[in-house]
Amino acid sequence: MKVTLIITTCALLILPSCSSPKTTEPVAVVEQQPTLVGRVSKVNAAAGYAFIRRYGAWKPRAGDVLQSHGETNDIISAGNLMATGERIGEHVAADIRSGVVNIGDGVYQSPQHTVKDADITLDIPE
């Protein structure tokens, strides 16, 4: 009887420690910065496109959203571009979506900025 009482008492003391909540370390959220992917080498503002001289092995997909930033003679320019997916050697074509784009502006891509084909809608008047 004493043996059963001792085993039961030990079990009651040990079991609650097994079910205690485990502490988890907080996960650090790292915000990725935009990456410099190239420089604007040619601009045709009237037609609404620009050529970007790409750096390294960057291969944009059609719909990738890009930002251009530059400064010429104390005038800051910024624009939004959308990659068309066309590549000519080390150059990439992009449509100018908004803003001002100048030759020599740096072109940046944020990891989360991509427009999928399903998201692109054309407003065609009937």
**Do the domain assignments include residue 56?**
yes
Domain that holds residue 97: 35-117
User: For residues 63 and 117, is the Cβ–Cβ distance under 8 A?
Assistant: yes
Two structure tokens written together for 88? 């000519």
56-100 pLDDT, tens digit per residue, is: 888 888 888 999 999 877 888 899 999 998 988 899 999 999 999
**Do the domain assignments include residue 24?**
no
**Do the domain assignments include residue 14?**
no
Q: Residue 81 is part of a domain; what is its CATH number?
A: 2.40.30.10
Element (H, E) at 37: strand 35-44
28-63 pLDDT, tens digit per residue, is: 666 678 889 999 999 999 999 999 999 988 888 888
**Do the domain assignments include residue 1?**
no
pTM score, whole prediction: 0.63
Two structure tokens written together for 99? 């803003």
3-25 pLDDT, tens digit per residue, is: 666 666 666 666 655 555 666 66
